[in-house]
Amino acid sequence: MNFILRRLGFYALAAWVSITLNFFLPRMMPGDPGDAVMARMQGRVQPETIDAMRKAYGLSDDPLWQQYFDYLGNLMRGEFGIAISAFPTPVTDIIRTSFFWTLLLGLTATIVAFLIGNLLGIIGAWRRGGLVDSVMPPLLIFVGSFPYFWLALLALFFMGFEWGWFPLRHAYSSNISPSWSLEFVGSVAYHLVLPAASLVVVAIGGWVLGMRNTMISTLSEDYVMMAEAKGLPQRRVMFNYAARNALLPNLTAFGMQLGFILGGALLTEVVFSYPGLGYQLLGAVRNLDYPLMQGIFLIITFSVLGANLVMDLLYVRLDPRVRGA
Amino acid sequence: MAIATETSNSQGTPAGAAPLIRIEDLKVQYLSPRGPVRAVDGVTFDIRPGEVMGLAGESGCGKSTVAQAILRILQPPAVITNGRVLFDGNDILDMSDDQLNEFRWRDVSMVFQSAMNSLNPVMTIGDQITDAIQAHQRMPGRKALERAEELLRIVGIEAARIDSYPHQLSGGMRQRAVIAIALALNPPLMIMDEPTTALDVVVQKEIMSTISRLKQELGFSILFITHDLSLLVEISDRIAIMYAGQIVELANARELFEQPLHPYTNGLMSSFPPLTGDRVKLSGIPGSPPDLVHPPAGCRFAARCPRRFEPCGSEPLFAEAKPGHRVACHLYPESRTPQAQEAIREH
Ligand SMILES: Nc1ncnc2c1ncn2[C@@H]1O[C@H](COP(=O)(O)OP(=O)(O)O)[C@@H](O)[C@H]1O
Ligand SMILES: [Mg+2]
């Protein structure tokens, strides 16, 4: 209980710090970001609208503390303001759709990498010095030594552009409207392959090596030796005895990975023009769209904090020893 | 140590009683950067039906390696470099993987030293019994569970514990559960590798009496491995004493306790606490066992031996000094090679 309270306290503090930072950052930019923004809007909208917008964005001439409390109040009501680059769409609308795409991409890539990586690690450790074990680690190190950005571009260039196996951009084909139809879901899956695969290729190495090492130490446990002495089929010894135990520490790492999903795929989204949070963030930066930037920053921080909190709570459930601490 | 040429039944096997299992000139090495560790270096003994064979020696002398070689569950870097393990006339070391999996647990099962570590922490006790049964016999799940409950009752655990996970049981109960698993297929031979070492004295006594009772009721043979010779007093029929990868003495239990021949056996006996009375400080054997990468030429115990003399620089034969009592020590003429005899004559 004590442990949970302390963790909750920590997360509350972290949340407050990030909210406050988020308030000050645009205000610390050189020049007046507000003016810069408004300058871009000049001539496109009425001056009265601009004044209203300034007010709405909290870029008023009020004293700083008042701006701060206005900002907090807006956040409480779930108002992130209006996106400048997509006026007059509310920031929350943009975040909601891009949040979904980021989640889809991140979850797919993380889960696939986790499954394949652990399976390869299990097999590598089981047949130590065998084919998988001798080919995988050097290959993974080789792949891992290239900058991700470069790998992703390479994949996009050859498989997307040169050979035309996969689409070049976006999350679904623009001539299908979103619905639960087979056609649409298929299109989403098709668009997902390349960006997700690029993430899997770089993430998989960690899982393979991690699993291989825990698995090797698990294989020397007495219970694995006893399982073998029992004359059980190899598969059963490998999965039910060795791998199931070796997987436990990896599950924790998996949970932590989930927390980073939202912030993690930024480069991927940019390279593959995948309309997630990262892609939107790039657009927001380009267009000096401060409300959108702030909204995305906040959503990313809160997701990481939230995922970590969930992991902490889960850990308390999984490991009785933590409860007393 | 050379193997003395085998005269018929030189180990005192009663005429007509074929041994259940026979280990012949077994050699196992652990490949290490310093060179091969000769953990087991020419071990020969047999176990008869219904017999309890004790295997004792200081820790590190190769007892567990012998046990694991019999079931062929040694892990790399261990390699079996020589020998035969004959069960029912078949050499286990020659078996294919399928034959081996059939042989394991059905013919020989094993109780490991630490019950804490030999149970799978994420599987219930019941599942760990039934998977052993179902790997060897076609049996519907319900019947296998009934059998598992019966086995738990036999070793003194309530049947309701069948769905418990290992961490929900006490140390003693866990070791009982391991014994229940070992009994699952009613094997004729059970290897017990220090089955009570990790337990406190009271629990240790309970487990020992459970083992004796089960042996009485079910009549299987046991290879009972321990570093504590005192545990073997009550339970074993014969005892083999192992030192630095070799068996140095083998005799009937009573005879071994009353008239130990090898100086190492003597040392081991004076180093175990009296069963009654205060725990006195153990005298032990001064010195430590030799490096098994470069074992000394000649008798391996010589450096620590209080009765060392001239011939000990050559290897003694493991020979029958008295009927049914074998020893590898130059104190006994039967063990002396011509070379050793010469060394004695010269002085
Ligand atoms: N994996 C290993 N690598 C190198 N040496 C080993 C390994 N395992 C055991 N040994 C050595 O083999 C010898 C016998 O070990 P073991 O059979 O476990 O002895 P015991 O069971 O009698 O205590 C010991 O001296 C030990 O140091
Ligand atoms: Mg041992």
Per-residue pLDDT tens for B152-197? 999 999 999 999 999 889 999 999 999 999 999 999 999 999 999 8
Per-residue model confidence (pLDDT) at position B15: 42
User: For chain A, what is the mean pLDDT?
Assistant: 83
pLDDT for A54 beyond 80: no
Instruction: For residue A217, tell me if it sits in a domain.
Output: yes
* Residue A1 amino acid letter: M
Per-residue model confidence (pLDDT) at position B155: 95
Contacts of A221 in chain B (CB under 8 A): 117
Rounded Cα distance, B133 and A232, in Å: 9
Per-residue model confidence (pLDDT) at position A176: 81
Question: Of A234-248, A286-300, B76-90, which gets the smallest average pLDDT?
Answer: A286-300
Per-residue model confidence (pLDDT) at position A17: 92
Give the number of C-alpha atoms closer than 13 A to the C-alpha of residue B217, restricted to the C-beta side.
10
Per-residue model confidence (pLDDT) at position B174: 94
Per-residue model confidence (pLDDT) at position A52: 63
pLDDT tens digits along A239-264: 999 998 888 788 778 877 776 776 66
A42: confidence class by pLDDT, cuts 50, 70, 90: low
- Give the residue numbers spanning the domain of A142: 109-280
Per-residue model confidence (pLDDT) at position B347: 78
Contacts of B147 (CB under 8 A, 6+ apart): B129, B130, B133, B139, B184
Give the number of C-alpha atoms closer than 13 A to the C-alpha of residue A254, restricted to the C-beta side.
21
Give chain A's domain count: 1
Q: Is the Cβ atom of B103 under 6 angstroms away from ligand 1? A: no
A1: confidence class by pLDDT, cuts 50, 70, 90: low
pLDDT for A218 beyond 50: yes
User: For chain B, what is the mean pLDDT?
Assistant: 90
Contacts of B73 in chain A (CB under 8 A): 225, 228-229
**Nearest-by-Cβ selection for B117 from A222, A228, A240:** A222
Dihedral angle, C-alpha A166, A169, A172, A174, nearest 10 °? -120
Closest ligand 1 atom to Cα of B65:
17
Instruction: For residue A260, tell me if it sits in a domain.
Output: yes
Dihedral angle, C-alpha B209, B214, B219, B225, nearest 10 °? -60
Instruction: For residue A227, tell me if it sits in a domain.
Output: yes
Contact B120 A230 (CB under 8 A): no
Instruction: For residue A240, tell me if it sits in a domain.
Output: yes
Map out the domains of chain B with their CATH numbers.
Answer: 2-107+187-274+282-346 (3.40.50.300), 115-186 (no CATH)
Contacts of A235 in chain B (CB under 8 A): none
Rounded Cα distance, A29 and A47, in Å: 24
pLDDT tens digits along A77-114: 887 777 777 777 888 898 898 989 999 999 999 999 99
Rounded Cα distance, A200 and A204, in Å: 6
Per-residue model confidence (pLDDT) at position A31: 56
Rounded Cα distance, B99 and B107, in Å: 12
| B166 DSSP assignment | G
Rounded Cα distance, A300 and A283, in Å: 16
Contact A240 B123 (CB under 8 A): yes
Calculate mean pLDDT across residues A281-302. 85
Instruction: For residue A316, tell me if it sits in a domain.
Output: no
Contacts of A230 in chain B (CB under 8 A): 104-105, 109, 131-132, 135, 181
Secondary structure class of A90 (helix, strand, coil): strand
Cis before B333? omega within 30: no
Give CA angle at A232 (A230, A236), nearest 5°. 135
pLDDT for B24 beyond 60: yes
A324: confidence class by pLDDT, cuts 50, 70, 90: very low
**Nearest-by-Cβ selection for B132 from A222, A225, A230:** A230
pLDDT for B288 beyond 80: yes
Per-residue model confidence (pLDDT) at position A44: 64
**Nearest-by-Cβ selection for A241 from B75, B114, B120:** B120
Q: Does residue A39 contact residue A47 with C-beta atoms inside 8 Å?
A: no
Instruction: For residue A96, tell me if it sits in a domain.
Output: no
Work out the number of other CB atoms within 10 angstroms of the CB of residue B150: 13
Per-residue model confidence (pLDDT) at position B204: 92
Give the residue carrying structure tokens 């004796």: B212
Taking the CA of B291 as reference, the closest ligand is: 1
Instruction: For residue A254, tell me if it sits in a domain.
Output: yes
Rounded Cα distance, B40 and B340, in Å: 24
pLDDT for A125 beyond 50: yes
A318: confidence class by pLDDT, cuts 50, 70, 90: low
Instruction: For residue A235, tell me if it sits in a domain.
Output: yes
| A42 DSSP assignment | B
Q: Which residues pair with B243 in a beta bridge?
A: B246
Residue with the nearest Cα to atom 2 of ligand 1? B30
Rounded Cα distance, B120 and B165, in Å: 9
Per-residue model confidence (pLDDT) at position A267: 86
Ranked by mean pLDDT, the top range of A56-70, A223-237, B261-275 is: A223-237
Q: How far is A239 from chain B (nearest CA, A)?
A: 12
Contact B110 A231 (CB under 8 A): no
Q: Cβ of B117 under 8 Å from any chain A Cβ?
A: yes
Phi and psi torsions of B54, nearest 5°: -90, 140
Q: Tokens for B109?
A: 């099962």
Per-residue model confidence (pLDDT) at position B12: 43
Counting Cβ atoms within 10 Å, is residue B306 exposed (0-12), middle (13-18) or buried (19+)? Answer: exposed
State what percent of residues in chain B have pLDDT above 70: 91
Cα(B273) to centroid(ligand 1), Å? 26
Q: Which B positions 163-202 lie with beta carbon below 8 A of chain A?
A: 178, 181
Question: Of A173-187, B182-196, B308-322, B332-346, which gets the smallest average pLDDT?
Answer: A173-187
Q: Is the Cβ atom of B59 under 6 angstroms away from ligand 1? A: yes
Q: Which of A128, A225, A230 is the best residue to mutate to test the B interface, defined by the most B CB atoms within 10 Å of its own CB?
A: A230
Q: How far is CA B159 from the centre of its chain?
A: 31
Calculate mean pLDDT across residues B213-240. 94
ipTM of this complex prediction, to 2 decimal places: 0.88
Calculate mean pLDDT across residues B17-33. 94
Question: Of A16-25, A111-120, A233-242, B67-76, which gets the smallest average pLDDT?
Answer: A16-25
Q: Is the Cβ atom of B77 under 6 angstroms away from ligand 1? A: yes
Rounded Cα distance, B253 and B259, in Å: 10
Per-residue model confidence (pLDDT) at position A34: 61
